[in-house]
Structure formats: C-alpha cells, structure tokens
Amino acid sequence: MKLIKKSILFLFLATSLIGGKAYAQKTLIDVSIDSAAILIGEQTALHLTVTSDKDRPVQIVIPNDTLMAGVEVLSLSKPDSTVIENNRLLIKQDILITSFDSSLYLLPPLKVVDGLDTVYSNQVALKVSTIPVNADKPEEFNDIKDVWKPPFVLADYYPIIYGVLLALFLICVIAYIIKRLRSKKSLIPFKKPEPKLPPHEQALKELNEIKQQKLWQQGRSKEYYTLITDTLRKYIVERFGVNAMEMTSAEILDILQKEADAVPVYNSLKQILQLSDFVKFAKMNPLPDENDLSMTNAYLFVNQTTRVEEEATPETATEEKKTEEKNDSNIIKE
C-alpha cells in the first residue's frame, strides 16, 4: 500500500515538474506604446518584445503599411536579439506609426508564429485628436504660407554665365574673321618685327625725326638737346661698347678721347654735350646758330665714326657689284 502511494506521489511530482517546465518555455509577446495620445499627423512608437527559447524558430508578423484602418505604419526598426537567463532569447523591435484621422483606436494585437502555435500580444489604445480651434476668435487663424524662395547661390548660375561668355567670345571671333577676310588681310594680326638697323642708320634716322619736329623753334630747347644727346649716347653704346647711358658728359669725353675713330670729331661731340648740360641744368637758352651747329655736329659725329662694314648697305653692295662687272667687261673688250 505504501509502495502504491509512493508511486502515485512520484508520478504527480514528475507531472508537475514537466508542466511547469513547459509553461516556463512558452513564447511570450508584449507591446507597449510611447504616447497613447497624439495630434493628427504626429508620430508615436510601439515597442514589441518577444521572449522565446533560443533554438526555437519564431516568426513575428507585423503589417508593412497599415496597422489598422486609420493607423499607418511608417517604419520598422531591425530586430535586436539578446540571449538572457535560462537559455532564452529576447527580441526587441520598434514600430513607428501615425494617423491622419481623429479617433480612439484599439490597436489590434500583434502575433508571433511559434511552430504550430500562434501567440498574440496584448492590445493598446491610441487616441488621435484634431488641433483645437477657437471658432470665436477668427483672427487667430493663420493663412496658408507663401512659397519660400530658395536663397541666391551664384554657383547655380555658373553654366548660364559661362554659356553667355562663350557665346560672346565666339561672336567676336567670327566677326573678326569675317572682317579680316573681307579686307583680304591675314588672320594673324601680328607683324613680323622689322630688322634692326645698324647703329649709324638708326642714329641718323632719329636725328632726322628730331630735326623735323623743330623743337627749339618752339622754345623747347631742353627737350631738343635731351633727344639729341640720348640719340648720341645710344649710338656710342652700340658703336664703341661704352655704357654711355649711365655716364656723365665728362666721363664720355674722357673715354672717347682715347678712341682713334672719335678723335677727328671729338670737338664736335664736346660742343654738343657741354652745351646740352648748360641747357638742361643751367636753363641756358642757346642762340639759333648754336642750335643749328649742335645738329650739324651730331650728323658729323655719326657719319665720321661709322664703321666701314656698316657703310656697305644692300643697295651700295649691289651698285658696287654692277660697277665691278662693268669694269671687267671693259677689260675683256680691250
């Protein structure tokens, strides 16, 4: 009899332990809400918590767009899984919802498919209210806001600016080409640089230009002598290799006094430089004869100090060649 009682007691305890263990391992689902009362268009979040065995596959069923009529699902967060005590798995997920219809909603329970069983969550309520309006004070109503203009950003207009500048540039280029072609001129406006004249030719050219200006006749004696001496100084630099542009008149005369080619016309140059110094620094006003003499001496100095090889210009060489050929033909005839 005692043996039978002990067997019954053992079976009862085993059944209780198995039943308690089965209950402890049951899948659980719970839902909570951030704010149960919102205004139209505002948002709130549902917090979903699922607890199940670690190795048991479960499927959480959540609508993608509409939780129920009038309540929309905006987004779902990624499930966050954590292993807790007793080898259990805790899954958390948030659901962002909103509503555009004022009402009191009893949100439907969410469910989890656990094998052949389906477990449902608790239900939560959501109250959606309209914005309160005081009809007795119409001045508090706000009109529809005007459309805002975007701020001015210069970079947005770069394509237009560059396009206009490029178009203007192309128009100018085309007009220039047409004008050059109509006038039968080269499209390249640059001229070839003129060949540099020999020093004595350049000096004589400048003296001729000074003479034609008739400066001293207009009372511009200082300018007259400045141009003459500058021309002679540049000629001396090219002809004798003396840095005459940086020297005083006395220094130039001292050096040229030792140059054989300049000795015959040394006095002519001396007359020009000394008189020029008086005019420029002592404000002397020379007589007309002195002005003419200065120009004559300038021509004389250049012509008398010209190098022999410089005198043979292309025209002179051609004439000399013709003369030689003529002389040779006369000799043959004789």
pLDDT digits (tens, 9 = 90+) for 189-210: 666 666 788 999 999 999 999 9
- Residues listed for the chain: 334
Q: Which class is 25-129 in CATH?
A: mainly beta
pLDDT band for position 168 (50/70/90)? Answer: very high
Beta strands per DSSP E along 6-133: 28-33, 37-39, 43-53, 58-61, 66-68, 71-76, 80-84, 88-98, 103-106, 111-114, 117-120, 125-129
Lowest-pLDDT choice from 18-32, 109-123, 293-307: 18-32
Q: Would the pLDDT of 15 be above 80? A: no
pTM for the model stands at 0.40
Give the tens place of pLDDT for each residue, 241-285: 889 899 999 999 999 888 888 889 989 989 999 999 999 898 889
Could you count the other beta carbons within 10 Å of the beta carbon of residue 225?
A: 25
Asked whether 199 and 310 are in contact (CB, 8 A), the reply is yes
| Pair of tokens at residue 228 | 């003459």
Radius of gyration of the chain (CA): 57
**Residues 6+ positions from 131 with CB-CB distance below 8 Å:** 39, 40
Cα angle 19, 23, 27 (rounded to 5 degrees) comes to 150
Question: What percent of the chain has pLDDT above 70?
Answer: 81
| CA-CA-CA-CA dihedral for 185, 190, 191, 192, to nearest 10 | -130
Is residue 235 packed enough to be buried (19+ CB in 10 Å), middle (13-18) or exposed (0-12)? buried
Q: Residue ranges of the domains in the chain?
A: 25-129, 159-189, 199-311
Average per-residue pLDDT for the chain: 82
Instruction: Assign 120 to helix, strand or coil.
Output: strand
Higher pLDDT residue, 15 or 298? 298
Distance, CA of 303 to CA of 297 (rounded, Å)? 10
Give the tens place of pLDDT for each residue, 77-135: 998 888 888 888 888 999 999 999 999 999 999 888 888 888 888 999 999 998 777 77
